[in-house]
């Protein structure tokens, strides 16, 4: 185990020998680190926080800190982080609140760029990218393989669907459709399938064409959402079924 002399590690913290704790880091008593984690310098990890293997935390990131919620009064809520994540400079991840479920969760293989904020009780899936200064208010869900652009705030209780791409500077106040491109340059509207992103993730041309048909029904036709969903049901494939289910489950409405 490599712990710099200037680091402060509280008694009770669980740190495997394979971890590296750099200069001026602070690790709280209820923190559990997995194997091969690296805290480069000036990192704060606090609260009841469980972290998986091979995560890297860059300077001035603050993990498991108290939520920015006036109703929080020190309850022992939690933060949970998976494996192989990169957390860049000045990222803040707040622990959960009792009324919000009690836990903030980050999955595995994610990149959180500088100044990202993950608010209390939020859930980030796997293989997601949150670009510089992306901001998740409390209770936000970001599903697998989604990308949230730089300087994009996401409103409380919104859901960002799988494989969605949100352009930089987009203010998100409703749910973001899976597989979609959504951007402030288009007046905060969805403007089709995230085809380039899907190609990079190994989607076949046939799968993408089917999704494009579904999005044309939803976004371009003169049908309302309910009518479009009924027509979309006639298309085959798990991707369209996932899209239809997402629309029907949405509580805040979807960005169209």
Residue 133, domain CATH = 2.160.10.10
Does residue 16 sit in the same domain as residue 95?
A: yes
Question: What confidence score (pLDDT) does residue 190 get?
Answer: 79
* Residue 237 domain-assigned (yes or no): yes
* Residue 172 domain-assigned (yes or no): no
Domain final residue pick, 142, 157, 178: 142
Question: What confidence score (pLDDT) does residue 28 get?
Answer: 98
* Residue 20 domain-assigned (yes or no): yes
**Rounded CA gap, 177 and 175, in Å?**
6
What is the full per-residue pLDDT of the chain (256 aa) written as tens digits?
A: 799 999 999 999 999 999 999 999 999 999 999 999 999 999 999 999 999 999 999 999 999 999 999 999 999 999 999 999 999 999 999 999 999 999 999 999 999 999 999 999 999 999 999 999 999 999 999 999 999 999 999 999 999 999 999 999 999 999 999 999 998 765 567 778 999 999 999 999 999 999 999 999 998 888 999 999 999 999 989 999 999 999 999 999 999 8
**Rounded CA gap, 51 and 63, in Å?**
10
C-beta atoms surrounding 244 within 10 Å: 18
Does residue 124 sit in the same domain as residue 14?
A: yes
Does residue 138 sit in the same domain as residue 206?
A: no
Sign of CA dihedral 238, 187, 174, 138: positive
Question: What confidence score (pLDDT) does residue 72 get?
Answer: 96
- How many H helices and E strands in the chain? 4, 26
Domain final residue pick, 142, 158, 182: 142
* Residue 39 domain-assigned (yes or no): yes
Does residue 124 sit in the same domain as residue 237?
A: no
Look at residues 184, 183, 168, 86 and name the one whose alpha carbon lies nearest to residue 127: 86
Largest CA distance in the chain: 66
**Total number of domains constituting the chain:** 2
Does residue 138 sit in the same domain as residue 24?
A: yes
**Rounded CA gap, 187 and 108, in Å?**
32
Does residue 120 sit in the same domain as residue 232?
A: no
Domain final residue pick, 98, 116, 142: 142
- CA torsion 98-100-102-107 (nearest 10°) is -170
* Residue 164 domain-assigned (yes or no): no
User: For the chain, how are helix, strand and coil distributed in percent, rounded to 5?
Assistant: 20, 30, 55
Look at residues 154, 167, 61, 69 and name the one whose alpha carbon lies nearest to residue 114: 61
* Residue 163 domain-assigned (yes or no): no
Q: Domain holding 242: CATH number?
A: 1.20.1180.10
Does residue 134 sit in the same domain as residue 221?
A: no
**Rounded CA gap, 199 and 205, in Å?**
8
The pairing of strands 44-45 and 8-9 is unpaired
Question: What confidence score (pLDDT) does residue 183 get?
Answer: 85
Does residue 207 sit in the same domain as residue 138?
A: no
First to last CA, the chain: 51
Does residue 134 sit in the same domain as residue 56?
A: yes
For residue 171, give Cα distances in angstroms to 92, 128, 155, 165, 186. Answer: 19, 18, 8, 13, 12
For the entire predicted model, the pTM comes to 0.95
Catalytically annotated residues: 120-121, 138
Residue 52 is given by DSSP the state -
Does residue 84 sit in the same domain as residue 7?
A: yes
Look at residues 84, 168, 79 and name the one whose alpha carbon lies nearest to residue 126: 84
Domain of residue 31: give its range.
Answer: 2-142
The alpha helices in the chain, defined as continuous H runs, are: 195-200, 205-215, 225-232, 238-249
């Amino acid at each position: 185990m490599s712990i710099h002399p200037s680091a402060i590690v509280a008694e009770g913290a669980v740190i495997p020998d394979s971890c590296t704790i750099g200069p001026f880091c602070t690790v709280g008593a209820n923190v559990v680190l997995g194997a091969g984690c690296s805290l480069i310098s000036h990192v704060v990890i606090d609260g009841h926080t469980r972290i998986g293997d091979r995560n890297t935390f860059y300077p001035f990131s603050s993990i498991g800190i108290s939520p920015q919620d006036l109703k929080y009064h020190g309850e022992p809520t939690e933060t949970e982080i998976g494996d192989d994540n990169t957390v860049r400079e000045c990222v803040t991840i707040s622990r959960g609140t009792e009324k919000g479920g009690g836990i903030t969760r980050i999955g595995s293989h994610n990149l959180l760029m500088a100044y990202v904020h993950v608010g209390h009780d939020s859930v980030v899936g796997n293989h997601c990218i949150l670009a510089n200064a992306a901001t998740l208010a409390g209770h936000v869900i970001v599903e697998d393989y989604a990308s949230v652009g730089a300087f994009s705030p996401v409103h409380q209780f919104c859901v960002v669907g799988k494989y969605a791409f949100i352009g930089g500077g987009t203010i998100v106040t409703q749910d973001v459709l899976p597989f979609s491109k959504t951007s402030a340059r288009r007046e905060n509207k969805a403007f089709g399938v995230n085809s380039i992103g899907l190609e990079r993730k190994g989607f076949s041309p046939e799968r993408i064409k089917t999704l494009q048909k579904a999005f044309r029904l939803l976004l371009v036709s003169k049908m309302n959402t309910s009518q479009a969903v009924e027509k979309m049901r006639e298309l085959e494939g798990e991707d369209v079924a996932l899209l239809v289910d997402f629309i029907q489950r949405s509580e805040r409405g979807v960005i169209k």
